[in-house]
Structure 1
Amino acid sequence: MSENAPHAEVATKNMVPWKERFAYSLSDFACNLSFQMVGTYLMIFYTDTFGISAAAVGTLFLAARIVDAFDGPFWGIMIDHTHTKYGKSRPYWLWFSIPFAVFCVLVFTTPNLSLTGKLIWAYVTYIGVDVLYSAVNIPITSILPSLTSNPQERVTLSTIRQFMGTAGATLITGITLGMVAFFGNGSTTSAHGWFIWALIVGIIVVIIFGFVFKNTHERVQTKSSRKSIPIKESLKALRRNWPWAIIIFINFIYWLGMQTRSQVTVYFFKYNMHDAGLASFVLSLQIVALVAVVVTPWTSKRIGKRNTMLMGMILAVVGQLLLSVGAGSLSVPMIIFATIVGYLGTGYVSGLIAVMLADAVDYGEWKNGVRAEGIVTSFSSFSAKLGMGIGGVITGWLLTSTGYVANHAQSASALHGIELNYIWVPLLGFALSGIALMFYHVDGIEKQMQSDLAVKHAKENAEDED
């Protein structure tokens, strides 16, 4: 029998049926319904509804990132130590979806408190939602290597997941202001409107995660995945794991740029363009990213995952440059066109990050003999939220330092601060991500790596049966 035969056999055996593909994709749909609402609207909710200054919000986001320095790896280690009849990653959706949804509601709740009390409430609820987000989101990535050993099937799964995740993000960012106004007697700053809408979203999220838990299965079982891995042993999977280091850096700097842009979108259209309603339309243009998401498997199969993501980063940079032209001339058509170009680019990027992290799990086992899905993929959540948090800090401090005053006409300096957040910080993040991709070379060794691992797993499974 040839060395590639075990690999082909395992890959065929571990194909994922369509019902399970759909269930897996809904995990990101649910996450984006809730956390995109937090990421996009929480800052303006805090400043324009709850009455907290932009600088205080920025400091809050930084404090949450310090907590993330521990909670991301903590959940990864917990996954590597979990061994249940449901698997290693899957049980976390059962255990933590309800607490996560509860905190997603609390973070948009406005109790009648002093300014100090408001800050304490914001710290507790936001850090709570952040920690619990890791508990349900890290398993989405950590389970991927266990769903299938077929590299192209992983791209397909991640593409479908990203399609639904983008659909969830588009839906929630497009309708939230309208729903808040609907429940808040026509006001987008209504505390009652924000609470009722967050409650509805939270209930939907819990129902979806129940469906995801019921209909996914961890079918790729290796010697490592069938036992708890000591922390010291799991950390060996990161040694000389350059693909992992590159993707974690990209995940950090890419989401820093995405966060600064998304959380000031409403500010930009409310104050710079004098049309807050246009923000919902522009945010809903994320739907064009689905075009790139759909063709990602085809593109990555022909030019490779690295080159597909690099193409996406270039499009994202071009979109930001065009956006600067539109902002300078206050041209709505140019801003819309630039946004479409940018979203096409980010559509290629987001879905491939999870796939490349799954490849990093394989690479860590191939190089170091340790398969640690939890610790390797947990840094995805940590790096993304670190980037988003620092993006929040940058936004808050820039708005404050340039003179932003909530619910008032802004000075030229404040308008410039909003524009810096909306255009130039994201552009820098996308450009640095593209440069980092030039050092990613896994595509060229993937076939050999998968073949070697298939032989290794087949041998281990045979030994366990004896």
Structure 2
Amino acid sequence: MEQPQHQLTTQTSSPERFSFWSYFTGQAMVQTILTNFIATYLMLNGIPLEHIALSMFAVKLWDIVNDTFFGVVFDKIKFKSGHRSIPWIRLTLVLLPVMTVVVYQIPDGLTPTGKLIWFIVTYVLWDSAYTVSDVPIYNLVTMMTTNLNERNSILSLARLFALIGAFITGMLTPILVSERVGFSFGNTAIVVALLAALTMIPIAFSAQERVHPKGENQRYGLKQIGDSVRKNKYLSRFYLGYIAAGVSLTNAPLDLFVSYFLFGSALFSSIALIVSSVPIGLMSVLMGTILKHVDKFKLYYWSNVAFMVLGVVVYLGGWHSAVLYLVLLGLRSIPQGIVLTLNLTFTPDIVEYGHFVTKKDIRGIAFAIQSFAAKFITLAQPLALLVLSLFPWQTTQAGSFSELARDHIVQTLPALNGLWITATLVPVVGTLIALIPYSRYHLHDKDVQLMARANAGEIAREEAVAGLSAEFKRREKIG
């Protein structure tokens, strides 16, 4: 069947798309150094695991206020330029890199309590800056084009560029702080922040907001917003699963310790990152083509299942053979690459569904919930520390891994077993839990495309309803 001309039309320019992707690279760089390495940094500062975990749980309470508040602000504030996302994005070009550096500048002379206070205050400020970057950048793609295939392609490649940013930070940080180089985490954060700022700048000059959905200028009170969110059942179903799976990714926060204590060197994490990044990158590159033939959510669901099964295999393989571990890690990275590429491409679909069903465009709230969920899953860090604290892990005081090696600091076998369990089995349990709400997500590509066109005023609502799948109309009691 021939595609409608609407779906064949590209509405964005090449420089615009590249600047969008480049922004994701920088954003992912600063997010990765905070998500994957802050726990290691605090552990090396001699702070007990349970105290670090509790402080991390505490700062997440700010997310509840921060993301919801900014979502309301985003929907309410109208700039004279007529832009909704671009002014906010420009503001973050300075805020986000600067706050990334500040978090990693804990003075050595502070007591453990003082160090925790420094972390809590600076992390809350960083978290606020990240929200101001995250909500507008995901909303921007809905303002760039109404073509669902183009959106999917842009967002899929954005995830690839984000993975590139995460890869750069994931490779660079272990090398710089390893026992062979000996950089401090503070100096490493400066390097990462500077690189991130350079990749984020192009969007300030290239991005365009050309789509203005009907109902955009409406005003809603908190009650109306709450009602709209409750009616958008797929928003809660998807993000309950996303949070359950994301919070359980306790392998990333402990990666440097797994590499150092189980495989002999912090540099081993760079080898593991390369092995896992190749299939992840390949999946990201091929995703645009794959999605032309496969429904996005069905692919996402079964990739989660495969990731869970292979996670069990990694655990059973053990840590006594580095080669076997790398092989299994590479295999697990294939479905993981699909999940990481697709996991934040569903919010625009959910926004279109909510607009179509409730006739209210509260995309700021939807993207704020996405931002909240993306940051909430950083609770994987304190969860990893809490689980690890159940085992006899010894607190360490060292500025870098070179100091650990110099002082010959080791851990007991029970502690190492606990490290392995925390890094391999907890993600399996979380993914299993995530499959429960995912099994009730029934929003598919063909229906979303029709709703997007109706929301943009390109076709009549009646025409969209007539074209919706029978299964969707039955579930939604439409028509």
Q: TM-score when scaled to structure 1?
A: 0.88
Q: Which moved more, 1:228-237 or 1:96-105?
A: 228-237
Which among 47, 62, 79 is matched to residue 43 of structure 2?
47
Which among 268, 275, 287 is matched to residue 258 of structure 2?
268
Which among 151, 172, 177 is matched to residue 175 of structure 1?
172
Which amino acid is the alignment partner of residue 341 of structure 1? L
- Residues 201-220 of structure 1 correspond to what in structure 2 (within 5 A)? 201-220=192-211
Q: Structure 1: how far apart are the matches of 2:102 and 2:207? A: 29
Q: Structure 2: how far apart are the matches of 1:394 and 1:220? A: 41
1:129-178 Cα offsets, whole Å, 9 max, x none, are 12221211222222222221111111100111011111111111012122
For 1:60, the equivalent position in structure 2 comes to: 55
| 1:139 to 2:136 alignment | yes
Q: Tell me, yes or no, if the aligned pair for 2:35 and 2:381 is still in contact at 8 Å.
A: no
1:190-211 Cα offsets, whole Å, 9 max, x none, are 5xx3222211222232233221
Which amino acid is the alignment partner of residue 251 of structure 2? R
DSSP 3-state at the match of 2:58: helix
Q: Tell me, yes or no, if the aligned pair for 1:234 and 1:371 is still in contact at 8 Å.
A: no
Which among 179, 190, 203 is matched to residue 199 of structure 1?
190
Which among 151, 155, 161 is matched to residue 154 of structure 1?
151
1:314-333 Cα offsets, whole Å, 9 max, x none, are 232233122113325x1212
Which amino acid is the alignment partner of residue 208 of structure 1? T
Gaps of 5+ in 1: 1-6, 460-466
For 2:467, the equivalent position in structure 1 comes to: none
DSSP 3-state at the match of 1:275: coil
Residue 257 and residue 64 in structure 1: after superposition, are their counterparts in 2 closer, same or farther (change >3 A)?
same
DSSP 3-state at the match of 1:297: helix
Which amino acid is the alignment partner of residue 425 of structure 2? W
For 2:289, the equivalent position in structure 1 comes to: 298
Residue 270 and residue 57 in structure 1: after superposition, are their counterparts in 2 closer, same or farther (change >3 A)?
same
| 1:397 to 2:394 alignment | no
Residue 57 and residue 16 in structure 1: after superposition, are their counterparts in 2 closer, same or farther (change >3 A)?
same
| 1:118 to 2:115 alignment | yes
For 1:238, the equivalent position in structure 2 comes to: 229
Q: Structure 1: how far apart are the matches of 2:10 and 2:74? A: 21
Residue 164 and residue 447 in structure 1: after superposition, are their counterparts in 2 closer, same or farther (change >3 A)?
closer
Q: TM-score when scaled to structure 2?
A: 0.86
Q: Structure 2: how far apart are the matches of 1:217 and 1:234? A: 27
DSSP 3-state at the match of 1:298: helix
For 1:425, the equivalent position in structure 2 comes to: 426
For 1:358, the equivalent position in structure 2 comes to: 348
Q: Structure 2: how far apart are the matches of 1:33 and 1:250? A: 25
For 1:413, the equivalent position in structure 2 comes to: 414
Query: Post-superposition shift, 1:311?
Result: 2.9
Residue 34 and residue 440 in structure 1: after superposition, are their counterparts in 2 closer, same or farther (change >3 A)?
same
Identity %: 19
DSSP 3-state at the match of 1:157: helix
| 1:36 to 2:38 alignment | no
Which among 313, 335, 357 is matched to residue 345 of structure 1?
335
Which amino acid is the alignment partner of residue 326 of structure 1? G
Which amino acid is the alignment partner of residue 36 of structure 2? T
Q: Which moved more, 1:26-35 or 1:205-214?
A: 205-214
For 2:466, the equivalent position in structure 1 comes to: none
For 2:367, the equivalent position in structure 1 comes to: 377
DSSP 3-state at the match of 2:213: coil
Q: Structure 1: how far apart are the matches of 2:158 and 2:344? A: 10
Q: Tell me, yes or no, if the aligned pair for 1:54 and 1:400 is still in contact at 8 Å.
A: yes
Q: Structure 1: how far apart are the matches of 2:410 and 2:280? A: 33
| 1:90 to 2:86 alignment | yes
Q: Structure 2: how far apart are the matches of 1:130 and 1:286? A: 27
Q: Tell me, yes or no, if the aligned pair for 1:26 and 1:164 is still in contact at 8 Å.
A: yes
For 2:98, the equivalent position in structure 1 comes to: 102
Q: Structure 2: how far apart are the matches of 1:176 and 1:23? A: 25
Structure 1 or 2: more helix by fraction: 1
1:291-314 Cα offsets, whole Å, 9 max, x none, are 111222222222201111123212
DSSP 3-state at the match of 1:354: coil
| 1:81 to 2:76 alignment | yes
Q: Tell me, yes or no, if the aligned pair for 2:213 and 2:455 is still in contact at 8 Å.
A: no
For 2:475, the equivalent position in structure 1 comes to: none
Which amino acid is the alignment partner of residue 89 of structure 2? W
For 2:476, the equivalent position in structure 1 comes to: none
DSSP 3-state at the match of 1:261: coil
For 2:306, the equivalent position in structure 1 comes to: 315
